[in-house]
Homo-oligomer: A and B are copies of this chain.
């Protein structure tokens, strides 16, 4: 398959300049990747933010996490961690208990079924990281440029 130029995909004839194209291209491509990933998680009845929270909890396991810790580590800092944990709790993938040493805080832990689900997902998506089509050098360039954007 031929490379799909961003101009063709969104049917805008021409960009004013390479910078304008870059901005649109970056946002469009990230959305495209997110949709690919979301589709992959649908078979496990997980959304992308739910998966990310679950992965953070596995990283802490067997220590608990608090909502604050989740917010710190989530990609989208302003999203509502509380309500994402709600959904995971309903599915039995995490538990929520009042933190004994600070009763304002809540200890959140991944459950055995949660760990098993992540393990099944790992098996299923192994080696499919989303950027298989890039060379190592291209990936390094990409990372360097993205870091510079957020200077």
Contact between A146 and B19, CB atoms less than 8 A apart:
no
Q: Mark A1-39, 1 if CB is under 8 A from B, else 0.
A: 111111001111000011111111111111111110000
Residue in B closest to A149 when the chains form the complex, CB atoms = B29
Within the complex, which residue of B2, B19, B26, B147 is in contact with A30, where a contact is CB–CB below 8 Å? Answer: B26
Please list the residues of chain A having a beta carbon within 8 angstroms of any beta carbon in chain B.
Answer: 1-6, 9-12, 17-35, 59, 72-76, 78, 129-134, 136, 138-143, 145-151
What residues of B have a CB within 8 angstroms of the CB of A10 in the complex?
73-75
Q: Is chain A's interface secondary structure helix, strand, loop, or mixed overall?
A: helix
Copies per assembly: 2
What residues of B have a CB within 8 angstroms of the CB of A9 in the complex?
150
What residues of B have a CB within 8 angstroms of the CB of A59 in the complex?
12
The distance in angstroms between the C-alpha atoms of A18 and B143, with both chains bound, is: 8
Residue in B closest to A76 when the chains form the complex, CB atoms = B31
Contact between A143 and B21, CB atoms less than 8 A apart:
yes
Contact between A26 and B19, CB atoms less than 8 A apart:
no
Question: Can you give 26 A-B contacts (C-beta < 8 A)?
Answer: A2-B151, A3-B148, A3-B151, A4-B147, A5-B147, A6-B143, A6-B147, A6-B150, A10-B73, A18-B136, A18-B139, A19-B136, A22-B139, A22-B142, A22-B143, A23-B129, A23-B130, A23-B131, A25-B147, A26-B146, A27-B30, A29-B146, A30-B30, A31-B76, A32-B150, A141-B145
